[in-house]
Amino acid sequence: MSWVEKIKNNFIITTGDGETYSPLWNDKSCVKEVEFNISEFNFPNQEGTFVDRREARGNKYILDIIFQGENHFDVAERFELSSKDKRPWTIEHPYYGRIIVQPASLSFGNQTLNGTTVSGTLLETLLRGTPTVISDPTAQIEELKSLAFSSGADAFALELPNPQNLAVANSSLYRAGVNSGAPQSQTEGYFNLFNDANTAVLNATSEPLAAIRSLQAVIEAPARFEISVKQRFDILTNQFNLLVNSVGNITGQSGKVQFETTAGSILTAMVTAASLPQINDYLNMVDVIGIIAILVETENTFIESLDSLQTDNGGDTDSYVPDFLFISNVVAIIDLTTSVLFEIATGAQQERSVFCETDTNVILLAHRFYGLDNDDVNIRRLMNTNNIGLSEIINIRKGRKIVYYVL
């Protein structure tokens, strides 16, 4: 079918509650993002990279539609109500055909009187029952974490480490994580781990395994702090970036192996952090997808950094090739964690946003989107989500963007 014939087809959305909508759509902002599950392999004495591509991930689509006509306010309101149903949507798209999606975020705008615009992000989803769900993902992630740490430590212990470099790494990692806002008992325990590692790395030449395991304990500690997953990720990402920024200065096999083990252990610790959410973590789909994005981006940076450090072959005295078992374990635990997080995302709250049609206040908005409660929990939630300060409590002006969440 030619593109001329395709664009004549209607854009039809059937929401989870069975309601059908046929809005106008913007073909200029029609975007489809395709990602694949891939692994990269580099071999000694062979130029280039072997890329093993597996099945594609779910596609991501940009939604940009308009409801027009005399009743566009009413139609948009019905569409907003329909979008709160947790079941997936079926879309007949002029370009992409029939797709099954879940909305990650939606934004409603009434900048003009003759139409309501709705924009957002849609994630293509499998129908429930197709994938096998892991009964206890936290336990399996913990088991894979132990395997990754162990294989990384064993590979490190085969080299002749530099105690001074390990001491510098221990100090920089600790400084990046000490001001975390974690409970005092945990920060005191973190300090004790730091001191233990300082002692162990001094004897790294004779006891390399004990030295790297003590450093891994320092690396993992922030992942278990009783703060939000986002705060833990900020700490671990900062620590990871400190190591990556030093890649250009790393010389010699020992330094490269130290980077591989410490950076890979930080990446593994991020998985631990993601698997231990606090009660207010993962409340909405956008937050979960954000964690997935950080995890995948960090993994890609890790692999790229190892590629830049790898030598042409493994036969020279000072050559370096990443340890296959350690890297395989790190990749396996990230693949498992991202799949679990995507499962969480499909059941998490979805983000919605509107532009206030008239001047209003937080009480009316909280009642509209969440309902009121005796303890004003929903009012505080709305204020925190939208950074509403004292100046806006009484009066929120027309046109102000308000974000809220639905199940």
Residue 360 has pLDDT above 80, yes or no: yes
Task: Tell me how crowded residue 208 is: count the other CB atoms within 10 A of its CB.
Answer: 22
pLDDT at residue number 56: 45
End-to-end Cα, the chain, rounded Å:
39
* pLDDT for position 266: 94
Average pLDDT of the segment spanning 193-205: 91
SS3 state at 71: coil
Q: What is the pLDDT of residue 219?
A: 93
Q: Which pLDDT does position 3 carry in this prediction?
A: 43
Asked if the model's pLDDT at residue 382 lies above 90, the reply is: no
Q: What pLDDT was estimated at residue 218?
A: 93
Instruction: Kindly give, in sequence order, each residue whose CB lies less than 8 Å from that of residue 133, ignoring residues fewer than 6 positions away.
Output: 343
Among 3-7, 155-159, 222-226, 306-310, whose mean pLDDT is lowest?
A: 3-7
Segment 216-235, tens digit of pLDDT: 999 999 999 999 999 999 99
State residue 131's pLDDT score. 44
pLDDT at position 282 is 81
pLDDT at 246: 86
Angle of CA points 37, 263, 310, to nearest 5°: 75
**pTM summary value:** 0.63
Q: Are the C-beta atoms of residues 144 and 189 closer than 8 Å to each other?
A: no
Q: What is the pLDDT of residue 345?
A: 75
For residue 26, the model assigns a pLDDT of: 66
Report residue 326 CA to chain centroid gap. 22
Q: What is the mean pLDDT of residues 159-186?
A: 88
What pLDDT is recorded for position 32? 55
Give residue-wise pLDDT tens across range 262-305.
999 999 999 999 988 887 788 777 788 888 889 989 999 999 89
Which of 73-77, 94-98, 215-219, 319-323 has maximum average pLDDT? 215-219
Instruction: Answer whether 96's CB lies under 8 Å from 32's CB.
Output: yes
Q: What is the mean pLDDT of residues 124-139?
A: 60
When the pLDDT of each residue in the chain is averaged and rounded to a whole number, the result is 81
**What's the Cα-to-Cα distance from 138 to each of 178, 225, 229, 271, rounded to whole Å?**
26, 16, 15, 10
326-354 per-position pLDDT tens digit? 998 898 888 888 888 877 776 667 778 88
User: Tens digits of per-residue pLDDT, 115-128?
Assistant: 788 888 887 776 54
pLDDT value, residue 48: 54
Q: Tokens standing for 233?
A: 């990720």
Query: Tens digit of pLDDT for each residue in 29-79?
Result: 555 555 544 445 454 555 555 444 444 455 777 777 788 877 888 888 888
**Quick count: other Cβ atoms within 10 Å of Cβ 265?**
28
253-262, 315-324, 394-403: range with lowest mean pLDDT: 315-324
More confident residue, 401 or 105: 401
Least reliable range by pLDDT among 22-36, 111-125, 150-164, 179-193: 22-36
Phi-psi region of 120 (alpha: psi -120 to 50; beta: other; left: phi over 0): left
pLDDT at 238: 92
pLDDT higher than 50, residue 129? no
224 CA to centre of own chain: 17
For range 13-23, the mean pLDDT = 83
